[in-house]
Structure 1
Amino acid sequence: MPEAEFLEGDAQALPFGADSFDAVVCGYGIIHVPDPETALSEMHRVLKDGGYLAASVWRAPKPTSGFGLLFDAIEKLGNLDVPLPHGPDFFQFSEPEKFKLALQDIGFTDVAIAGVDQVWEVGEPLGMITAILEGGVRARGLLLAQTEDVRSAISATVANGMMQFRSADGTYRIPMPALVGSGRK
């Protein structure tokens, strides 16, 4: 079994020297840092010349996606103007061209953006709400900032909307499209 060392650090001030790595991978992390450009610059800095970056972000919400269902319910029933920790627009890199330009602006070359049609599978209509509350960050904070009555109304609306994702075997297969951006130093 391969061994790995896990380190905790600040993505905006990576604790590594310049030109340290052949590759950097960032799975949905860039959307959670206060200054994404600084974090991307740090990823670029620690890469060796010719090294590669791969980073993933969520696609923008659409009515036919899980985030579309969730954020539509919050927008209609809840309050979007709630105190959350400082952070960037959750979906600022959700369009391929914007993501590509962000990577190019940092200095990455051979930038490519690929769509990923992934699916979350849950066993009940409230499975998406549960997943967000147990594993989300900013969306979780947005839900928890609502009153209990509003949270219940949002949950009921999402559960009702989940019927569009129910398959014949009773599993709910929620489209959660993403983008993966890659580039070379």
Structure 2
Amino acid sequence: MENQLEQIRDQQKQSWNKFSPGWKKWDEFNMRFLKPMGDAIIDSLKIKDGDDVLDIAAGTGEPGLTIAALTPNGTVTGTDLAEGMLEIARANAAAKGVKNYKAQIADVSELPFDTESFNAVSCRMGFMFFPDMQLAANEIYRVLKPGGRFATAVWAGPEQNNWVTTIMSVIQKHVILPAPPPGSPGMFRCAKPDVIANLLKQAGFNDITPIELTGQVDYGSFDRYWQMMMEVGAPIVAAMSQADEPTKNKIKEEVAALFQSQNTGGTALLHYGALVISAQK
């Protein structure tokens, strides 16, 4: 991997470790939010008992922990760059009594597994952050057994995800954020269905099938929304750190007004849109 890509990887590792306490605090909420995407991945993988499954960018453990229940005579290996996140995954596995799950640090660009090791590979909301997505796709293809399936979930476009644009659109009005280089890691990097499809096709996959998911997430209140974003949103916190106190207060006021304008009935709902892409080796 090129030095620049290694730097991106190391920065991501540091960031996810730094924010892992926030992800632990909000784990139940976030896992409920992301469950539809995990369920769609699981449906696409067609897990059978005895399958050995790899869950990449495992974070706090899902959907790998749910998959483990589907293959009690198989194994599920969750990998992530951040040890802080994997510690939460291990704790979640222990709390659920999951015995066939293990978590280990691994870089998707250099997976430490033999060729044709897994019957299925999952990756929920990680692909768009990989420094070299083609290299990641190639590695996933390599570790899959012939006939094995892969499924990933990524965010659709910003217009479908006001759960994050509600806050980021206001921050960008007050804080000068440098434009990222084209193709650099980011939430909406894979928003067009053909992005992942082309990567998988190039890697050798077939039967590539995208589906769209949309829904709402209930934050309960604006204050809860704001607090969570400040504790789990690494890009948001980084942007906010560039603002002085009066500007931070102004940003919060404007975000609150925008949030409330989208919830005129007193609700606390925001929208999400995601793509789930599956393929077979």
User: TM-score scaled to structure 1, two decimals?
Assistant: 0.83
1:45 aligned partner? 142
1:159 aligned partner? 256
List 4+ stretches of structure 1 deviating above 4 A. Answer: none
Q: Which has the higher contact order (CA 8 A, sep 6+)?
A: 1
How many Å apart are 1:95 and its aligned residue? 1.5
2:275 aligned partner? 179
1:90 aligned partner? 187
1:5-51: CA deviation from partner (whole Å, max 9, x where unpaired): 11121122111111110111111111222222222221111111111
How many Å apart are 1:184 and its aligned residue? 0.8
Which shows bigger deviation, 125-134 or 38-47? 125-134
Which shows bigger deviation, 137-146 or 3-12? 137-146
Q: Is the Cα contact below 8 Å between 1:77 and 1:154 reproduced in 2? A: yes
Unpaired runs of at least 5, structure 1: none
1:88-121: CA deviation from partner (whole Å, max 9, x where unpaired): 2431111122232232222221111111113222
Summarize the Cα distance change of 1:150–1:52 in structure 2 as closer, same or farther, 3 Å threshold. Answer: farther
1:61 aligned partner? 158
Summarize the Cα distance change of 1:106–1:167 in structure 2 as closer, same or farther, 3 Å threshold. Answer: farther
Which shows bigger deviation, 17-26 or 58-67? 58-67
Match of 1:23 among 97, 110, 120: 120
Q: Is the Cα contact below 8 Å between 2:160 and 2:271 reproduced in 1? A: no
Q: Identity of counterpart residues, as a percentage?
A: 27
Separation in structure 2 between the aligned mates of residue 6 and residue 150 of structure 1, nearest angstrom? 41
Helix, strand or coil at the partner of 2:108: coil
Q: Is the Cα contact below 8 Å between 1:19 and 1:49 reproduced in 2? A: yes
Q: Is the Cα contact below 8 Å between 2:175 and 2:242 reproduced in 1? A: no
1:133 aligned partner? 230
Q: Is the Cα contact below 8 Å between 1:12 and 1:42 reproduced in 2? A: yes
Which shows bigger deviation, 113-122 or 53-62? 113-122
- Looking at secondary structure, tell me which structure has more helix per residue: 2
Unpaired runs of at least 5, structure 2: 1-96
Separation in structure 1 between the aligned mates of residue 218 and residue 148 of structure 2, nearest angstrom? 34
1:135-171: CA deviation from partner (whole Å, max 9, x where unpaired): 2343443344444443333322222111244375x44
User: TM-score scaled to structure 2, two decimals?
Assistant: 0.57
Match of 1:80 among 158, 162, 177: 177
1:64-104: CA deviation from partner (whole Å, max 9, x where unpaired): 72233233212222221289xxx524311111222322322
Q: Which amino acid aligns with 1:138?
A: P
Separation in structure 2 between the aligned mates of residue 61 and residue 135 of structure 1, nearest angstrom? 19
Summarize the Cα distance change of 1:99–1:156 in structure 2 as closer, same or farther, 3 Å threshold. Answer: farther
Q: How many residues align?
A: 181
Q: Is the Cα contact below 8 Å between 1:125 and 1:160 reproduced in 2? A: no
Match of 2:203 among 82, 92, 106: 106
Separation in structure 2 between the aligned mates of residue 91 and residue 137 of structure 1, nearest angstrom? 15
